[in-house]
A and B are shown apart, each in its own frame.
Chain A
């Protein structure tokens, strides 16, 4: 005959449910109020080693940047229509204005010209010296209707996983600043993190990389 025993309170089960709830709720709140913690992207880039410092001035190429929390400073903006929130800002051909994007999340496409497509959101934008924010929400949307033309652009706190193309220029590598001059050679940069400055048809990469190789007259590999 089967004996029925009164059901004991399962404290382990209760604890597991509470822990599962906390595991879900805490990251939700943290991400909304404090910052990002993306498990794949964040941890991968934080764990990526970038032991080599680089300061390179090379030819400009097309780059697509999809990042969070970067700062972009555009100087000499002209011939551009910019949508910030519900407002439209026109920059004429004769104009040469400053545009500053603080804590930008989104995509910036860099093209020769130089010009860029901007699509994302910012905590604050400064247009012609006037700061623009969204009073109701934390962030304000920003997009270029076509391409933004400018004289120079500096993007800080940016990451580029892989950059490979043929170019010319000067590359300073390492703390000792070993100088490498390249002329129409194929450069491959792996895991760049730092600042990019675009001016004219040149691009300056200043920051840290994981590795770099140059293929051309002289093959060089730095890792």
Chain B
């Protein structure tokens, strides 16, 4: 099996499930009102459509705010909406990696990774990423490979 040199991750859409549920409820309400022959308020329907579109756009924009990339030497954190700040964390400074998932996150397949960094004395938390165990294992392998060189 070909080994990957690099892996990238960002926030999973599953972390925005409550907002997707709200959009679904709004759409379903509109459909039910139309099919039941009840009067549909144009103003409220317009508001619902604006809410659905703007929340969907906001989710995609928010997801792109933090991107994490692991290569052979660094954990790279690219942060920002339009102006991007890039921070490179050397893998040799990473002391510990833990994966955090509550019941719902476990069911849906997303979660958080907590990275303990020696020199800074604090933890870096990568939140709501898809398949955090896979990303965590990859990062761990890269850290071990770096340490053993």
Given A6-B123, A21-B22, A138-B38, answer yes or no on A32-B43 (Cβ-Cβ < 8 Å).
no
The residue that B45 contacts in the complex, of A17, A28, A138, with Cβ under 8 A, is A28
How far apart are the CA atoms of A37 and B47 in the complex, in Å? 14
The interface residues of chain B lying within 8 Å CB-to-CB of A33 are 38
Given A3-B120, A7-B125, A7-B127, answer yes or no on A27-B44 (Cβ-Cβ < 8 Å).
yes
How far apart are the CA atoms of A38 and B46 in the complex, in Å? 13
Please determine whether B85 and A32 come into contact, CB atoms closer than 8 angstroms.
Answer: no
User: Is B29 an interface residue, CB under 8 A from the partner?
Assistant: yes
User: Is A23 an interface residue, CB under 8 A from the partner?
Assistant: yes
Please determine whether A4 and B48 come into contact, CB atoms closer than 8 angstroms.
Answer: no
Given A17-B19, A24-B51, answer yes or no on A32-B125 (Cβ-Cβ < 8 Å).
no
Minimal Cβ-Cβ distance residue in B for A68: B39
Q: Residue-by-residue, is B99-140 near A (CB-CB < 8 Å gives 1, otherwise 0)? A: 000000000000000000000101111010000000000000
Please determine whether A4 and B77 come into contact, CB atoms closer than 8 angstroms.
Answer: yes
What is the distance, in angstroms, from B75's C-beta to the closest C-beta of chain A? 11
What is the distance, in angstroms, from A147's C-beta to the closest C-beta of chain B? 27
The residue that A4 contacts in the complex, of B25, B38, B124, with Cβ under 8 A, is B124
Residues of A22-44 at the interface with B, using a CB-CB cut-off of 8 Å, are 23-25, 27-29, 31-33, 36-39
Please determine whether B85 and A28 come into contact, CB atoms closer than 8 angstroms.
Answer: no
Residues of B16-30 at the interface with A, using a CB-CB cut-off of 8 Å, are 19, 22, 25-26, 29-30
Please determine whether B39 and A4 come into contact, CB atoms closer than 8 angstroms.
Answer: no
How far apart are the CA atoms of A38 and B25 in the complex, in Å? 22
User: Is B40 an interface residue, CB under 8 A from the partner?
Assistant: yes
How far apart are the CA atoms of A5 and B66 in the complex, in Å? 13
Minimal Cβ-Cβ distance residue in A for B23: A21
Q: Residue-by-residue, is B62-77 near A (CB-CB < 8 Å gives 1, otherwise 0)? A: 0000000000000001
Given A2-B85, A4-B77, answer yes or no on A28-B37 (Cβ-Cβ < 8 Å).
no
Given A2-B87, A7-B125, answer yes or no on A28-B48 (Cβ-Cβ < 8 Å).
yes
Please determine whether A31 and B40 come into contact, CB atoms closer than 8 angstroms.
Answer: yes
Provide 5 A-B residue pairs closer than 8 Å at the C-beta atoms, listed in order of the A residue.
Answer: A6-B125, A25-B26, A27-B47, A28-B33, A37-B41
Residues of B bordering A, CB below 8 Å: 19, 22, 25-26, 29-30, 33, 36-41, 43-45, 47-48, 51, 55, 77, 85, 87, 120, 122-125, 127
